[in-house]
């Protein structure tokens, strides 16, 4: 039997374990027999109130037999756990949906839960739990319907997983973070300042801006600075960079007979070298911290393989871990304390940090992802509570047939939320693709988050409303339908009780007529 989350593997077993415990308590205290006593009393009291006459006693006995038979049937199929419908831990499994990070996930079982459930929490789950026949059939049918519907729905791309993984990409290595800040200060800032001062308008630069975007000059790996003479091809750091060999033809400021331990590469080399370049280090750091982000980009947009792929990864990492101003030209320890120096420092720092600050929309996105991951856990816990409390429903309903449908619809309603969440996922992925038909623009959500806040907020609001609203709408529909079905079942059993009620009424009227006739005599 399949379930719909890692947690449900264990809450299902524990829920029915609690069911068995509560049922045993009700049996041991004799509470399970009270509904039978109520049936006997009602079938004696109602005809007696109408006045016994003629066939009333026989009809009352027949009605009593029918209601006792129905009650016993309900006890057998929906009350007493049966060994014929035992739920074994070895038969439960959960098959996670494939994702970009795990396209072929392994099915989870009690023995191999693929999570901390069962090992660090929810320990000691029983190997076998006996279920009543009716509830076992309801759960099996519901699970089958869920998986059949999901299999029939169109597959959904996994853009949210990419978004989540992209937000994990950061610079964990402090040495790399320092190197990025040094490149930022000694390559990007001079090149950016020169570009802003000169405002070049050549055909080559225009072509670069058309190919890589108008915002290309605003990030460290700008192709305008890399491919235009006079920028990165002529700029060098002011001090040697660890890992770069001394080259006498390039590092002419040093004595070749007593060379330093490291060299000073040109900014182009420093950034784009395929082995020790800064961009290559950023890509490796992204794959390390976010589970292979560079590979995910190729899955989403195969046409970006190569140069644009590496640029996209580097932009994401820099957006999540923006470089800091590290020039000592302002004041000691990079701090201007007063006057024009302080004003200039704050303006530069504030402007440079804007692109990397996690805005309110990003925080909302993180909150939303937490809620989406928590919803299946809420579903599993609700099912646990429902299973555990079913004995009370069975007894308090006086073993009515309508209760069977009410409980079945409650289980089906909650378990069907899984289908609704898959539908919400499919709609969400298609909305993302519709709002970002150009994958490059989708990547800019992370490189330049401030430029796409409104669109991201709209997507997140729609997604949240779908994940929360569809289950609420479905539950409301099923509540109305369950009420209607319960009334229909009650009406359908009315003919069984009708003759007794009519006979009691007629008997009472006839008895009153005879008494009145005797009085007149």
Q: Is residue 382 a contact partner of residue 8, using CB atoms and an 8 Å limit?
A: no
Mapping DSSP to helix (H, G, I), strand (E, B) and coil, where does residue 440 land? helix
Residue 95 sits at φ, ψ, to 5 deg, of -105, 105
Segment (H or E) for 82: strand 82-88
Q: What is the pLDDT of residue 16?
A: 93
Q: What is the pLDDT of residue 510?
A: 43
Residue 116 sits at φ, ψ, to 5 deg, of -85, -5
pLDDT tens-digit readout, 180-225: 999 999 999 999 999 999 888 889 989 988 888 888 898 898 999 9
d(CA 390, CA 135): 10
Question: 113 or 356: whose pLDDT is higher?
Answer: 113
Structure tokens at 506: 């007629």
**Percent of the chain whose predicted confidence (pLDDT) is above 70:** 74
Q: Residue 23 pLDDT more than 90? A: yes
Q: Is residue 463 a contact partner of residue 368, using CB atoms and an 8 Å limit?
A: yes
Q: Residue 129 pLDDT more than 80? A: yes
Structure tokens at 125: 């789950």
Question: In sequence order, what E strands does 227-371 have?
Answer: none
Q: Residue 257 pLDDT more than 90? A: no
Q: Is residue 134 a contact partner of residue 86, using CB atoms and an 8 Å limit?
A: no
Q: Taking the domains of the chain in order of start, what are their residue ranges? A: 8-158+361-501, 171-320
**Percent of the chain whose predicted confidence (pLDDT) is above 90:** 22
Structure tokens at 37: 């006593």
Structure tokens at 80: 């007493």
CB-based contacts of 85, cutoff 8 Å, min separation 6 = 130, 131, 132, 133, 136, 137
Dihedral, 398, 401, 404, 406 alpha carbons, nearest 10: -90
d(CA 48, CA 63): 14
| pLDDT range class, residue 362, cuts 50, 70, 90 | low
Residue 262, CA atoms < 13 Å, CB-side half-sphere: 11
Q: Structure pTM? A: 0.70
Residue 502 sits at φ, ψ, to 5 deg, of -65, -40
| pLDDT range class, residue 310, cuts 50, 70, 90 | confident
Positive or negative, the Cα torsion across 211, 215, 216, 217? positive
Q: What is the pLDDT of residue 474?
A: 85
Q: What is the pLDDT of residue 56?
A: 58
Q: What is the pLDDT of residue 105?
A: 82
| pLDDT range class, residue 466, cuts 50, 70, 90 | confident
d(CA 12, CA 384): 6
pLDDT, mean of residues 87-107 = 81
Residue (of 208, 219, 182) closest to 448 by Cα position: 219
pLDDT tens-digit readout, 409-443: 899 999 999 999 888 888 888 887 777 766 655 66
Segment (H or E) for 287: helix 278-290
Mapping DSSP to helix (H, G, I), strand (E, B) and coil, where does residue 390 land? helix
If you count them, how many residues does the chain have? 521
Rg (CA), the chain: 37
Residue (of 91, 86, 89, 88) closest to 133 by Cα position: 86
Q: What is the pLDDT of residue 426?
A: 86
d(CA 369, CA 379): 16
Q: Look-up: residue for tokens 């330049």?
A: 448
Q: What is the mean pLDDT of the chain?
A: 78
Least confident of 32-36, 86-90, 354-358, 501-505: 354-358
Q: What is the pLDDT of residue 214?
A: 84
Q: Residue 329 pLDDT more than 50? A: no
| pLDDT range class, residue 136, cuts 50, 70, 90 | very high
d(CA 96, CA 339): 60
Residue 14 sits at φ, ψ, to 5 deg, of -65, -35
Q: What is the DSSP string of 288-314?
A: HHHTSHHHHHHHH-GGGTTHHHHHHHH
Q: Residue 389 pLDDT more than 90? A: yes
Q: How many CB atoms lie within 10 A of CB 8?
A: 24
Segment (H or E) for 139: helix 133-152
pLDDT tens-digit readout, 487-514: 554 544 454 444 444 444 444 444 444 4
Q: Is residue 470 a contact partner of residue 422, using CB atoms and an 8 Å limit?
A: no
Cα distances from 229 to residues 202, 208, 233, 252, 357, in angstroms, run 12, 13, 6, 20, 32
Residues facing residue 87 across a β-bridge: 129
Structure tokens at 487: 């009334």
Residue 85, CA atoms < 13 Å, CB-side half-sphere: 18
């Amino acid at each position: 039997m399949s379930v719909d989350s890692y947690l449900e593997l264990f809450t299902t077993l524990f829920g029915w374990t609690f069911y068995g415990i509560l049922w045993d308590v009700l049996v041991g205290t004799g509470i399970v027999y009270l509904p039978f006593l109520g049936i006997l009393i009602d079938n004696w009291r109602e005809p007696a109130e109408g006045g016994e006459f003629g066939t009333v006693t026989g009809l009352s006995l027949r009605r009593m037999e029918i209601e006792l038979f129905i009650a016993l049937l309900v006890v057998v199929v929906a009350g007493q756990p049966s060994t014929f419908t035992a739920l074994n831990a070895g038969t439960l499994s959960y098959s996670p949906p494939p994702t970009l990070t795990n396209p072929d996930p392994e099915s989870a079982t009690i023995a191999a839960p693929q999570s901390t459930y069962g090992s660090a929490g929810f320990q000691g789950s029983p190997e076998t739990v006996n279920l009543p026949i009716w509830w076992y059939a309801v759960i099996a049918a519901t699970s089958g319907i869920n998986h059949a519907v999901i299999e029939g729905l169109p597959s959904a791309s996994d853009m949210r997983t990419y978004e989540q993984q992209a937000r994990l990409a950061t610079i964990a290595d402090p040495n790399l973070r320092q190197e990025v800040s040094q490149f930022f200060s000694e390559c990007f800032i001079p090149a950016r300042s020169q570009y802003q001062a000169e405002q070049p308008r050549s055909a080559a630069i225009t072509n670069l801006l058309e190919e890589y975007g108008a915002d290309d000059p605003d990030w460290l790996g700008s192709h305008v600075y890399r491919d235009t003479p006079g920028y990165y091809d002529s700029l060098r750091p002011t001090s040697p960079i660890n890992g770069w060999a001394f080259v006498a033809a390039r590092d002419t400021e040093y004595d070749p007979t007593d060379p330093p331990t490291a060299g000073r590469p040109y900014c182009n080399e420093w950034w784009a070298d395929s082995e020790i370049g800064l961009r290559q280090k950023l890509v490796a750091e992204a794959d390390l911290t976010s589970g292979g982000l560079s590979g995910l980009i190729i899955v989403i947009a195969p046409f970006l393989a190569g140069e644009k792929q590496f640029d996209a990864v580097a932009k994401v990492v820099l957006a999540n871990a923006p470089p800091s101003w590290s020039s000592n030209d302002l004041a000691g320890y990079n701090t201007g304390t007063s006057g024009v120096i302080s004003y200039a420092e704050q303006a530069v720092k504030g402007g440079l940090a804007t692109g990397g600050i996690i805005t309110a929309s990003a925080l909302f996105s993180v909150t939303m992802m937490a809620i989406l991951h928590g919803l299946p856990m809420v579903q599993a816990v609700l099912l646990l509570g429902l299973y555990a409390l079913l004995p009370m429903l069975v007894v308090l309903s006086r073993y009515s047939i309508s209760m069977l449908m009410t409980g079945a619809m409650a289980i089906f309603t909650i378990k069907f939320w899984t289908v609704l969440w898959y539908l919400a996922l499919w709609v969400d992925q298609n909305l993302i693709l519709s709002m970002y038909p150009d994958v490059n623009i989708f990547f800019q959500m992370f490189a330049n988050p401030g430029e796409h806040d409104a669109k991201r907020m709209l997507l997140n609001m729609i997604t949240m409303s779908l994940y929360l609203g569809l289950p609420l709408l479905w539950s409301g529909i099923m509540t109305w339908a369950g009420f209607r079905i319960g009334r229909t079942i009650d009406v359908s059993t009315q003919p069984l009780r009708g003759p007794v009620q009519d006979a009691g009424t007629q008997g009472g009227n006839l008895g009153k007529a005879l008494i009145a006739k005797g009085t007149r005599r």
